[in-house]
Structure 1
Amino acid sequence: MIEQSTVNKIRNIVFYVMFSIELVGMLYEKSSGTIPYQSYIFRVTFMMSCFVVVLTKHDLREWLVIAAICVLGFYCYRHTGRNDLWRVMVFTIACKDIDIKKALKYAFWVTFIGSLLIAFLSISGIYGDISLTEVYRKNEDPVTRYCFGFGHPNSLQTMAFVNTVLFVYVYNEFIKKYMYAVLLLLNGVVYYFSDSRTAFAVTVLFLIACFIYKMWPQFLHSYFYTVGCVFLYLFSFAFSMWAAFTADKTWWDYNIQHQVDAFLNGRIMSIYFDSLNRRGWAGSWSLFSDSISNEFFDMGWVRLYYWYGIIPATLIVILIFTLLLKCSQDKDVMTAYVIAFVAFYTIVEAHFVSDYIGRNFVLLIIGERMFRLCKKKEEST
Structure 2
Amino acid sequence: MLLMVIFCFGLWNTDKQKLLDIFFIVTSVSFICIVIYSICSGEGLTLSAAYREENVFISRYTLGYSHPNSLQGAYLRIVASFVLSRFCKTERKKKYILLEVLNIILFGLSNSRAGFVVISIILLLSFFYDIIIKIFKAKFFYILMSSLVIVVVCFTIYATYNYYNNPILIIINKIITGRFQHANVFTSRYAVSLLGTNISELSLHLTLDCGIISTLLSYGIIGFSIVLFIYLFGVRKMWQNCDYVNMIVVLSCVIYSAIESIYMNPFVNIGILTCMYNCVNRKSVIKREYDILLKGK
TM-score range, shorter chain: 0.7 to 0.9
Partner of 1:255: 167
1:230-280 Cα offsets, whole Å, 9 max, x none, are: 122122111112123324xx3x6x73443332232211110133x49722x
Instruction: Give unpaired runs (5+ residues) of structure 2.
Output: 291-297
Partner of 1:5: none
> Pairwise mapping of residues 74-93 of structure 1 onto structure 2 (< 5 A)?
85-93=1-9
Partner of 2:268: 359
> Pairwise mapping of residues 1-381 of structure 1 onto structure 2 (< 5 A)?
85-125=1-41, 128-170=43-85, 171-214=87-130, 218-247=134-163, 250=164, 255-273=167-185, 275=186, 278-279=189-190, 284-293=191-200, 295=203, 296-354=207-265, 357-373=266-282, 381=290
1:260-315 Cα offsets, whole Å, 9 max, x none, are: 32232211110133x49722xxxx12211233447342211111112222211111
Structure 2 CA distance for aligned equivalents of residues 363 and 96 of structure 1: 15
Structure 1 CA distance for aligned equivalents of residues 152 and 225 of structure 2: 14
Partner of 2:294: none
1:359 aligned counterpart, secondary structure: coil
Please tell me whether the aligned partners of residues 108 and 163 of structure 1 are also in contact (alpha carbons under 8 angstroms): yes
Once the 2 structures are TM-superposed, how far is the Cα of residue 111 of structure 1 from its aligned partner? 0.6
Once the 2 structures are TM-superposed, how far is the Cα of residue 207 of structure 1 from its aligned partner? 0.7
Larger Rg: 1
2:47 aligned counterpart, secondary structure: strand
Please tell me whether the aligned partners of residues 250 and 272 of structure 2 are also in contact (alpha carbons under 8 angstroms): no
Instruction: Give unpaired runs (5+ residues) of structure 1.
Output: 1-84
- Code of the aligned partner of 2:71: L
1:223 aligned counterpart, secondary structure: helix
Pair 313,352 (structure 1): closer, same or farther in 2 beyond 3 Å: closer
Once the 2 structures are TM-superposed, how far is the Cα of residue 202 of structure 1 from its aligned partner? 1.4
Once the 2 structures are TM-superposed, how far is the Cα of residue 114 of structure 1 from its aligned partner? 0.3
1:288 aligned counterpart, secondary structure: coil
Structure 2 CA distance for aligned equivalents of residues 377 and 109 of structure 1: 29
- Code of the aligned partner of 1:122: S
What is the aligned-residue RMSD (CA, Å)?
2.6
Structure 1 CA distance for aligned equivalents of residues 183 and 212 of structure 2: 11
Please tell me whether the aligned partners of residues 210 and 259 of structure 2 are also in contact (alpha carbons under 8 angstroms): yes
TM-score, with structure 2 as normaliser: 0.86
Please tell me whether the aligned partners of residues 199 and 217 of structure 2 are also in contact (alpha carbons under 8 angstroms): no
- Code of the aligned partner of 1:286: S
Structure 1 CA distance for aligned equivalents of residues 151 and 216 of structure 2: 17
Structure 2 CA distance for aligned equivalents of residues 376 and 210 of structure 1: 24
1:328 aligned counterpart, secondary structure: helix
Once the 2 structures are TM-superposed, how far is the Cα of residue 374 of structure 1 from its aligned partner? 6.1
Once the 2 structures are TM-superposed, how far is the Cα of residue 216 of structure 1 from its aligned partner? 6.2
Please tell me whether the aligned partners of residues 161 and 184 of structure 2 are also in contact (alpha carbons under 8 angstroms): no
- Code of the aligned partner of 2:56: D
- Code of the aligned partner of 1:318: F
TM-score, with structure 1 as normaliser: 0.68
Once the 2 structures are TM-superposed, how far is the Cα of residue 380 of structure 1 from its aligned partner? 6.0
Once the 2 structures are TM-superposed, how far is the Cα of residue 164 of structure 1 from its aligned partner? 0.7
Please tell me whether the aligned partners of residues 299 and 346 of structure 1 are also in contact (alpha carbons under 8 angstroms): yes
Identity %: 22
Structure 1 CA distance for aligned equivalents of residues 210 and 235 of structure 2: 21
1:132 aligned counterpart, secondary structure: strand
Structure 2 CA distance for aligned equivalents of residues 260 and 363 of structure 1: 26
Please tell me whether the aligned partners of residues 187 and 200 of structure 1 are also in contact (alpha carbons under 8 angstroms): yes
- Code of the aligned partner of 1:260: I
Pair 168,377 (structure 1): closer, same or farther in 2 beyond 3 Å: closer
1:139 aligned counterpart, secondary structure: coil
Structure 2 CA distance for aligned equivalents of residues 240 and 218 of structure 1: 31
Structure 2 CA distance for aligned equivalents of residues 367 and 96 of structure 1: 10
